[in-house]
Structure 1
């Protein structure tokens, strides 16, 4: 159960951080026209930051799906154990 809970926490963190970073990059891109991108993102352009942020979101969704599958399997195992008693 520990890894299932940690997987859910990590999934949520990846989705939230990736989403915030993507929104931040979109705001910089549309309001300043790429002129402020080096200040906030280092040598990366806003497009590269958006790509990386969406990858974080995608990985977070995948980790969340795996954690939900693990939780479902653990729940079914508990039901089977109770039925055998």
Structure 2
């Protein structure tokens, strides 16, 4: 089962949230509808701006942990390399 590392944002250059999931559509539904209390709900982080797929959950978790140690500028560069307009990727059918 593939796993996804995601970066969600409150808005362009806003608050970022990095997570991992094996069910991207379900997880995005939860974030966008405030079904999970926590950081993303508290900070209004509902826009999927970056996602990468991994064949194994272990690889996705390792990547998530690495990304969380990155400087903010590096995370912004990563997002803008594939999504320069900070579009919500759920609207594109990805999630």
Fold equivalence (TM over 0.5): no
Structure number with greater Rg is 1
TM-score in terms of structure 1 length: 0.27
TM-score in terms of structure 2 length: 0.25
Identify which of structures 1 and 2 has the higher relative contact order when contacts are C-alpha pairs closer than 8 Å and 6+ apart. Answer: 1
Structure with the bigger percentage of helix: 1
